[in-house]
């Protein structure tokens, strides 16, 4: 008899019950229904398809846009003895051949892949012959050009219906307007029996606040000093991560920084310091985001206004995942809003500018006309910027546009762990020990630490190996390089340099869909105007966000700064109303409920006045005003 969702949940994750909607989603998937789930950040989306996949058996194929997030999920599954692999461009040809055989032999329960891999005939050939019982689309909003992170290769996913026409497709996202939701259903070709499970964007434990201030540094310091626990501060530039973290350090705040321009080691070190509580706050760009596994974030501050409500909702939603009260604070002022709007308008390059940057890129990588199709190159963006005197922002925009036009793709090897595989057999290792006894303890330590290292490339930690061997990390790296050179092992060091792959040969005339870029520019500006409006509204902030994402007839949250301000005013009015009524005529609870219009918040305030002794029961059991007694 197959295991139930609750049995799987307890066995692998040791949880006793599911969160809101998780079980509903799992049940729909197990019925074979195509399912779109729109759940708040931190709601446990991955658990829904992981539990479903284990019950359905065979392989669950997950399409996800972020290598870092896929790697994190694979490592987390391995820790609980669930077999998983991430197929991405960081794998060598050797690794791919081994892993493709493993997939075909049914070694893995979960296979993660980027959408770009769907263009690879070999991958499609392999996966189409496998026992795939569930297809998952993570970050499903990427399929819509109206989404905040459109990825053209997501449009290829529906082609898998040819090979897997009898299995459910499950799509997940944290944020989708009704227009984006419609695109997801359309482009994934959901069946007529599909289900949409949409969780409210409301999170009662989050207090949304917007502060209009000219002196942001002082305001940040005030917030950090007043708020217990750890926090995240998002800023718009790498320079600001350094400036603001240094300012906080000078004011006795343990602050770290994180941006894509730092070395991989420094990023990981700062992330771990924050994760483990050594640093109470991390100042970062939006490079710090997906895959964050910390539930007790008490506040998220946006030092600069983000570019869309979607981005703000996702980033602010990293606060309070443990369900405890947390604050989401947006700092803004009119000059900053104007600067950001101008920056957004300049993000869309005209064709002439795009061609100039494309040709500069080809010259930098020494690509001749007609060359480079399906070739990959490491790309030092800072050196390119310096050599050709181009702004980093323009380069990032040009690459994003060239990706959308399917001219090239870029892979960031962010947090890509080093990997190792033993190529020699036991006899060869024994012969090597005899000639090099100093290496015996070192190699045997690796064998003890990492199982399956003869058959697969295994993620390793040079630091952990060094700790066990009682030497330095540098010496371990040098030893691994030496053993790799003599073909005893294959050692793939950590690499945080992006790789560009050209999908078309170099041409003088590159694709440029002007109509699409004009529409996207208009849409992007409208999104920014929505978040700018949010910063100045006087009504409920969570209600505004809910309405933006298509939720109708929502009520005020009661916790944001605007609701609190309104509630403070209401309390004064309620105080006077009760005082006037009860000083004249002591009343029973039914009359008081009628007086307070049976409003829960008003009745709660009435109970507070009882607790404070301002209202009390008299000898007849009636409530009377007791303030002067």
Nearest to residue 50, comparing CAs of 64, 65, 66, 68?
64
Pairing of strands 281-284, 255-258: parallel
Q: Which residues, including other chains, have CB under 8 Å from residue 424's CB and lie 6 or more apart?
A: 432, 487, 488, 489
pLDDT of residue 496: 65
C-alpha 385/C-alpha 359 separation (Å) is 13
Alpha helices in 436-471 (DSSP H): 440-449, 462-469
C-alpha 539/C-alpha 208 separation (Å) is 12
In degrees rounded to 5, what are phi and psi of residue 490?
Answer: -120, 110
Find the length of the chain. 629
Provide the sign of the torsion angle of the four alpha carbons 61, 62, 68, 71, taken in this order: negative
| 270 token code pair | 């700062």
Query: Please, which residues bridge with residue 61 across strands?
Result: 111, 135
pLDDT of residue 414: 43
Q: Count the neighbouring beta carbons within 10 Å of the beta carbon of residue 443.
A: 19
- Secondary structure (3-state) at 202: coil
pLDDT of residue 596: 81
C-alpha 241/C-alpha 329 separation (Å) is 17
| 100 token code pair | 């493709």
Mark the ranges of the chain whose per-residue pLDDT is less than 70. 1-2, 89-90, 147-148, 289-291, 293, 412-416, 495-496, 567-570, 600-601, 628-629
Q: Which residues, including other chains, have CB under 8 Å from residue 339's CB and lie 6 or more apart?
A: none
C-alpha 396/C-alpha 190 separation (Å) is 34
- Give me the DSSP letters along 588-601: -HHHHHHHTTT-HH
pLDDT of residue 381: 86
- Secondary structure (3-state) at 371: coil
Run of H or E residues at 113: strand 110-113
Residue 525 contacts residue 518 (beta carbons within 8 Å): no
In degrees rounded to 5, what are phi and psi of residue 114?
Answer: -80, 155
C-alpha 541/C-alpha 548 separation (Å) is 11
Tokens 């708020």 belong to which residue?
A: 227
C-alpha 80/C-alpha 65 separation (Å) is 24
> To 5 degrees, how large is the angle CA 322–CA 540–CA 308?
75
pLDDT of residue 415: 47
Q: Which residues, including other chains, have CB under 8 Å from residue 343's CB and lie 6 or more apart?
A: 393
C-alpha 277/C-alpha 295 separation (Å) is 12
Nearest to residue 291, comparing CAs of 262, 258, 261?
258
Q: Count the neighbouring beta carbons within 10 Å of the beta carbon of residue 114.
A: 20
Residue 194 contacts residue 33 (beta carbons within 8 Å): yes
Residue 351 contacts residue 237 (beta carbons within 8 Å): no
C-alpha 473/C-alpha 607 separation (Å) is 63
Pairing of strands 206-212, 255-258: unpaired
pLDDT of residue 495: 67
- Give me the DSSP letters along 74-117: HHHHHHTT--EEEE-TTS-HHHHHHHHHHHHTT--SEEEE-GGG
| 485 token code pair | 């050179």
Residue 24: half-sphere exposure toward Cβ, Cα within 13 Å: 12
N-terminal to C-terminal alpha carbon distance within the chain = 70
C-alpha 283/C-alpha 272 separation (Å) is 14
Instruction: List for the chain the helix, strand, coil content (%; round to 5).
Output: 50, 15, 35
C-alpha 278/C-alpha 283 separation (Å) is 14
Q: Helices 216-226 and 238-250, interaxial angle, to 10°?
A: 60
DSSP at 185: H
């Amino acid at each position: 008899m197959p295991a139930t969702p609750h049995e799987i949940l307890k066995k692998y994750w040791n949880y006793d019950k599911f969160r809101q909607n998780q079980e509903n989603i799992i049940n729909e998937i197990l019925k074979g229904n195509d399912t779109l789930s729109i759940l708040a950040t931190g709601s446990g989306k991955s658990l829904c398809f992981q539990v479903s996949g284990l019950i359905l058996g065979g392989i669950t194929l997950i399409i996800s846009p972020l290598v870092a997030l896929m790697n994190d999920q694979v490592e987390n599954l391995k820790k609980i003895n669930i077999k998983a692999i991430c197929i991405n461009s960081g794998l060598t040809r050797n690794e791919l051949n081994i892993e493709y055989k493993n997939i075909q032999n049914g070694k893995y329960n979960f296979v993660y892949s980027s959408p770009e891999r769907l263009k690879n005939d070999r991958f499609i050939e392999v996966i189409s012959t496998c026992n795939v019982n569930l297809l998952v689309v993570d970050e499903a909003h990427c399929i819509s050009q109206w989404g905040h992170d459109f990825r053209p290769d997501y449009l290829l996913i529906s082609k898998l219906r040819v090979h897997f026409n009898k299995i459910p497709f499950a799509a997940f996202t944290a944020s989708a307007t009704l227009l984006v939701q419609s695109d997801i259903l359309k482009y994934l070709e959901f069946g007529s029996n599909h289900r949409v499970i949409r969780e409210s964007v409301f999170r009662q434990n989050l207090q949304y606040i917007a502060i209009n201030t000219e002196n942001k540094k002082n305001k940040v310091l005030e917030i950090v000093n007043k708020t217990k626990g750890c926090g995240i501060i998002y800023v718009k530039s790498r320079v600001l991560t350094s400036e603001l973290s240094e300012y906080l350090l000078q004011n006795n705040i343990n602050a770290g920084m994180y941006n894509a321009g730092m070395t991989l080691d420094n990023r990981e070190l700062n992330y771990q310091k924050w994760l483990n509580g050594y640093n109470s706050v991390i100042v970062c760009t939006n490079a710090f985001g997906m895959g964050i596994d910390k539930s007790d974030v008490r506040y998220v501050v946006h030092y600069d206004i983000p570019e869309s409500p979607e981005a703000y909702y996702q980033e602010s939603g990293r606060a309070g995942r443990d369900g405890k009260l947390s604050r989401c604070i947006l700092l803004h002022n009119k000059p900053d809003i104007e600067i950001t709007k101008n920056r957004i308008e300049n993000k869309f390059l005209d064709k002439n500018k795009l061609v100039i940057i494309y040709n500069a890129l080809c010259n930098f990588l020494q690509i001749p006309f007609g060359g480079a199709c399906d070739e990959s190159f490491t790309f030092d963006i800072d050196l390119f910027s310096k050599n050709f005197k181009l702004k980093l922002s323009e380069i990032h925009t040009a690459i994003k546009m060239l990706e959308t036009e399917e001219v090239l793709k870029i892979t960031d090897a962010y947090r890509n762990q080093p990997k190792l595989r033993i190529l020699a057999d036991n006899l060869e290792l024994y012969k090597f020990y005899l000639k090099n006894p100093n290496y015996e303890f070192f190699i045997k330590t690796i064998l003890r630490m990492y199982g399956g290292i003869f058959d697969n490339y295994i993620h390793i930690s040079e630091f952990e190996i060094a700790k066990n061997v009682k030497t330095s990390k540098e010496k371990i790296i040098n030893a691994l390089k030496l053993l790799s050179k003599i073909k005893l092992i294959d050692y793939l060091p950590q690499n945080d340099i992006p790789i560009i792959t050209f999908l078309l040969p170099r041409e003088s005339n590159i694709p440029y869909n002007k109509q699409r870029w004009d529409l996207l520019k208009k849409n992007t500006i409208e999104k920014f105007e929505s978040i700018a409006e949010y910063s100045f509204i006087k009504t409920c902030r969570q209600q505004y966000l809910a309405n933006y994402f298509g939720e109708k007839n929502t009520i005020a949250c009661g916790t944001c700064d605007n609701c609190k301000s309104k509630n403070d005013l209401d309390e004064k009015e309620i105080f006077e109303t009760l005082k006037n009524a009860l000083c004249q005529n002591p009343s029973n609870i039914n009359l008081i409920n009628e007086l307070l219009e049976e409003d829960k918040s008003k009745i709660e305030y009435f109970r507070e006045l009882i607790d404070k002794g301002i209202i009390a029961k008299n000898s007849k059991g009636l409530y009377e005003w007791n303030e002067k007694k």
